[in-house]
Structure 1
Amino acid sequence: MLHLLPTQFAAAPFAYPDGAVARLAGGMLWFAAYEVLGDGPRRIVPVADVASLGERAQRLHARVVAPRPAWTLGARTLRFDQPLVAGILNVTPDSFSDGGAHAGDPAGAAAAGVAMAAAGAAVVDVGGESTRPGAPLVWEEDEARRVAPVVERLAAAGTLVSIDTRKAPVMEAALAAGAAIVNDVSALHWDGRALAVVARTGAPVVLMHSPDPSKGPHGGSGYRDVVTEVLDWLEARIQAVVAAGVARDRIMIDPGIGFGKSLTDNLALVDALAAFHGLGCPIMLGASRKRMIGALDNEAPVERRLGGSIALALAGAAAGVQLLRVHDVADTVQALRVWRGLRDRALAPS
């Protein structure tokens, strides 16, 4: 299926003739051309000529350039016209990144989440089950007991919370405790009740790609073309979720870096992140501290992957990603502030 990858980004869009550049998803980036994917040989087509590619290309272009509506979540509003940070808060005993630092300590976990918000996280993403390869399945009642007290404390402190789970009862418990967003690594596939929970509550949802989410997040047997296959899968999943009663403008997508994908696959997806704007939804990128960083840097252990995590976050920002899911909130927020300062200056005519 045809997809469009925005390219030839314009540092100074005001210097181009009218119609020669387009704004990416209502954000801070402008581009002058598309690379055409999944429809024969890859080729570059100027933005002004996108109509020559047919009706599907015109629909994709309309999605690419459309501003993403903000999410109003109680007293909070999450805007998508610049990259934001979601801080990762694990309350598991077996997290790959923090060794269970907050397991069994709701007050301490909540304090850590509040500190993330104070450091600039727009959202704190709370999870009670590890999704690392080989991690054991957690019974849904145990997972709910882990996350609900933390979510309740964070919400009471005014922190915007997402719940990272694939189980309907955990979603319900967390939403009742004050969570506002559901983040599901199975894209609402794992638990047959989950889609109904999201549709009934109206909570925004993050749909993440994995090759076979009904069996777990790390299955799969490889790809012929990882970028177009992940795009096709997410496009079909969005359609199914919308058909079940979830508003399209309450859906965010995540390409699932590190989930059932090789290093080569992950690099290809990061390089093609801008193509995911063609799905018409905000994008989350979760690449913080992941295995691909160690693979590219002499097997650097988790605690020595900050530089790589920042590099991937900035690659996401440069592709128009709206939400960056990270462990190192303060460092990432600082990097994004510098990135935004550079973009603000570039967008201002001399």
Structure 2
Amino acid sequence: MALALYIHWPFCLKKCPYCDFNSHVRDGVDMAAWEAALLADMAHEREATGPDTLTSIFFGGGTPSLMPPALVETLIAAATRHWPAAPDLEITLEANPSSVEAAAFADLARAGVNRVSLGLQSLNDDALRFLGRLHDAREGIAALEVAQRAFDRISFDLIYARPDQSADEWQAELSRALAFGTGHLSLYQLTIEPGTRFATDYRLGRFALPEDDTAAAIFTLTRAMTAEAGLPAYEVSNHARAGQESRHNLTYWRYGDYAGIGPGAHGRRRGIATQRHKKPENFLSATVRNGHGMSESRHLPAREQAAEALMMGLRLEEGLDLAAMAQRFGLPVDQLIDDAKARFYRDLGLIRREGTRLFVEPAGMVLLDALLGELVSGELLAAT
């Protein structure tokens, strides 16, 4: 079996008013203790998974690009000792586009990282200030240029449908982004997450989001521009040249097995959902006490697994094979999808069926979250 490994580094060494990691800011980090904890947690996952083939490693979380390259190298070496590595093993690290982090890119590449995901978020200084980012556009572009010298595979993200943003403004920004020539772009519509400063400001009327029609027009424009540039959408928010798709994220979207280690990390393996202690100190003490940082391990009933697989798989342009899914989870096809609603949305041009395969059309991708709630059978949704 194939396995992806997610390594969550919990610490933000810079405060960001719009993320939920403020409680994880630390003045100092005991790297020796954290190395021991993460290695123990990884060894526990190896015992649980067996010798699956490792297809990807992803360093994410707080500010993983500020991890010492020596620690990154140690964790990669341990992972490839525990699991046989695929010949094209993808090793991704999330990075903020600051000059401090960019200075470590060459060392991180030597440590074994072969792909970087850069959180640019915008090429506009006013937008970056609104988003609460600590870098400006010039610093972000400079970090991207450093990354392009250090890594063969680069992705960066941008956020659109920001307050007062017009389709013309986004077209200019996206044209500039495409000109950098990276093989992958993650392009997200701005959403309001509960519990953030954004949510409070939005509730108090300090800003307004674009109307639905404007946001839909920007989404359609985005797909047309990226396709013309040779980076078509392969997932609702992700665009790549052929062969440059994120193998790690494809594991999630195809509902493959992945092991999660580090504070707050989730995993799915062999029908079991795992979760680690979220608070760093609790995670650390749990690894000393138990040899792992897990706070929960739960077997997922077939219906719950099927619901998750549908909700993830229909995000992809490749769609999913309902017959194969029914066989995988031991459920009849008619228990996966609400047939009457599927016919209704097919007639509206939002989905299509080709044999046993179900696809969401571009017009449906604009409404994906609502559409998924309609398509997935009520019985499966009740199981989640």
Query: Higher relative contact order by CA 8 Å / sep ≥ 6: 1 or 2?
Result: 1
**TM-score by shorter chain over 0.5:** no
Q: Give the TM-score, by structure 1 length.
A: 0.41
Structure with greater proportional strand content: 2
